[in-house]
Chain A
Amino acid sequence: MFGSELVDAIDGQARVHPDRVAFCNSEGERITYVELRDQSNALACWLADADHVAPDVPVVLFGHKSPYMLTCILACAKSGHPYAPVDTVYPADRVARIVEQVGNTLLIDTTATDAGKAAAVAAPRVSLDNLREICAQTVTQDAIEALPGTGRDRTFYILFTSGSTGDPKGVEITGECVDEFSRWMMSDYVFEEDGVRTWFNRTPYSFDVSITDLVCGTTRGDTTFALEAEADASLAKTFEALADCDATDWVSTPSFVEQCLADVAYDASLMPRLKRMLLAGETLRPATVREVKRRFPGIHVYNGYGPTESTDLVTLCEITDEMLENDLALPIGYAKTGSDLVVLDPETLEQKPDGEPGELFVAGNTVARGYYGRSDLTQAAFGVCPEPLAQGRRSYRTGDEVTREANGLYYFHGRLDLQIKLHGYRIELGDIESTLVSTPLVHMACVLPVVRDGSIHHLTAFVVPTEAATERGLKLTRQIKSLVRGMLPSYMIPRTFRYLDEMPLNTNGKADRKALSALVDV
């Protein structure tokens, strides 16, 4: 009735299992399906009032793992507003820039503690106290039925990701993308079986892996358990939460699993019901899967891959024992139903035969509309794939180098540009570099990933300091880090800095990354 299969499915659960917990977190907050329906209806009616926010414009949702995030997501869809989730890990400056890009429309703040960051924005703000009051209001059936809802052609969410020039860019995902992604996941991953499942969620709603949790965890009336940031900082608290949540299904990055595996207590006795693990967001190492299978006998481990610009995942497969025996690198999966994955020569745009590496282009029913308010960026990345290969459908140029094998499995090799994934976080190196040179201490900067054991270990920055920088070494590093801390989330701050008198340049007059990476490998 709201024009979204996902939203209607979640509301449907409120009729069938009203008192079942839809979402809970390690702080003990929880929401049932009927509460989720009623609260989101109340908030949607408030949002549908043009005195509160103009119709159709995006609404920024600021928060982390509060059940209110889920309420707000549904309310936005029901009232016809795209939502733009912004996580509390972002510093105030980045929050303000995203809110400004969205048009300073309205910000809903679901946090009690991080009010400072969200309070600085120019947009009107709904505080947690206001939000509680609005959600508790009783609304009439007539008002609910009059809600505009969303639709397949409308923007469902706008997810901001690192942009190469230092400004985050907002990926616009439509209702069609969400529903088609949802259908695929429900048929190819979430198989029908008896019993309520509990989904362990570690990713905040502002990162696209979370759409997988949202879709899988709620469509069938399951329970999602989210790990709060406080527990995240302490592995002891994380393990307590893992034991308490008793999850059957796990979704995270490989790095988080590796972190847990470092403790012998992470095994089937800690999480006896754990049956499935879906890993995505970065390279999955065979050793990680072998160890998971040893600790959790009988577990099914899946590897997935996809860009934010095509709704989280476009490939998926179970990692079999055969793959672990034969392969040095694990496949990222088979192509999603409804998507055409095309491997092309990045220069000539000619199709590459199976077994040969090339750039991956994705076409099909989960490709984003583009970048919000940035037709220049949209034109460069969308619709580039030659029409016949894209079957006349919208396509996205990923910048990822992959190979398709004759058996239909895809393998990921790396990036063709300066975008990287560090522990699952998508980062444009240019974003960090332009932030560094915006400080008075840095004249020139070049940031490089340091690779160990086949995956990105940390970032290092080569810096030519300005005359204002009187210190060198760790002292200067600390000064620069303290300056950028207010501008970049912590995962984007390079761990180490090296200082140069001059930046080595290539023939184009740009920083010579090859020469610098030779210094990193020593």
Chain B
Amino acid sequence: MADIRQQIIDLVADITDEPDVANEPDLDLFEEEILDSMAAIELLVAIKDEFGVSIAPTELERSEMNTLNKIVARVSERL
């Protein structure tokens, strides 16, 4: 679990170009303009490549994956 978390932190940090996201796991990434709809899709593609977990962009609403903690939860429940 800790491993997945770190891997996801790295993915989000890489895509958003913002290493500090790890310190604010409940920050609303859309509201803070750290993620936008294009970056969210990149993240889903990266999650598929990294974990083999396929989440269609139409499957989730923004409110289900708008924080680091929620993204970790969505991936974990599908592993």
Contacts and interface: CB of A to CB of B under 8 A. Distances in A.
A496 B17 contact: yes
Contact of B38 (A239, A265, A423): A423
B20 A473 contact: yes
Given A259-B38, A259-B41, A474-B20, A265 B33 contact: no
B44 interface: yes
A238 B16 CA distance: 24
B17 A450 contact: yes
B70 interface: no
A74 to B, nearest CB: 32
A233 B64 CA distance: 13
A263 B55 CA distance: 9
Given A234-B62, A263-B56, A423-B38, A495 B20 contact: no
B17 A495 contact: yes
A278 B16 CA distance: 30
B37 A460 contact: no
A474 B33 CA distance: 12
Given A235-B37, A458-B39, A496 B58 contact: no
Interface string A480-522: 0100000000100101100000000000000000000000000
A278 to B, nearest CB: 20
B24 interface: yes
A236 interface: yes
Interface string B32-61: 111011110100110000000000111101
Among B18, B21, B37, B44, the most chain A Cβ lie within 10 Å of the Cβ of B37
Among B23, B32, B61, the most chain A Cβ lie within 10 Å of the Cβ of B32
A259 B56 CA distance: 11
B56 A265 contact: yes
A495 B62 contact: no
A255 B42 CA distance: 12
B60 to A, nearest CB: 8
Contact of B36 (A265, A481, A495): A495
B35 to A, nearest CB: 9
A493 B62 CA distance: 20
A304 B15 CA distance: 29
A262 B57 contact: yes
A263 B41 CA distance: 9
A496 B24 contact: no
A264 interface: yes
Nearest to A473: B20
Contact of B59 (A236, A458, A460, A496): A236
Interface string A437-479: 0000000000000100000001010000000000001100110
B17 A263 contact: no
A481 B57 CA distance: 27
A443 B13 CA distance: 26
A262 B32 contact: no
Interface string A227-243: 00000111110110000
B59 A490 contact: no
B18 A496 contact: yes
A262 B24 contact: no
A264 B37 contact: no
Given A263-B58, A473-B20, 19 more contacts: A235-B37, A235-B57, A235-B58, A255-B38, A258-B41, A259-B37, A262-B41, A264-B56, A458-B39, A460-B17, A474-B18, A474-B21, A474-B24, A477-B20, A478-B32, A481-B33, A490-B33, A493-B33, A495-B39
The 9 closest A-B pairs by CB, nearest first: A474-B20, A262-B41, A236-B58, A496-B17, A235-B57, A263-B57, A473-B20, A235-B58, A493-B33
27 contacts: A232-B37, A233-B62, A234-B62, A258-B41, A259-B37, A259-B41, A259-B57, A262-B41, A262-B45, A263-B56, A263-B57, A263-B58, A264-B56, A265-B56, A460-B17, A474-B18, A474-B27, A477-B18, A478-B27, A490-B33, A490-B36, A495-B18, A495-B33, A495-B34, A495-B39, A496-B17, A496-B18
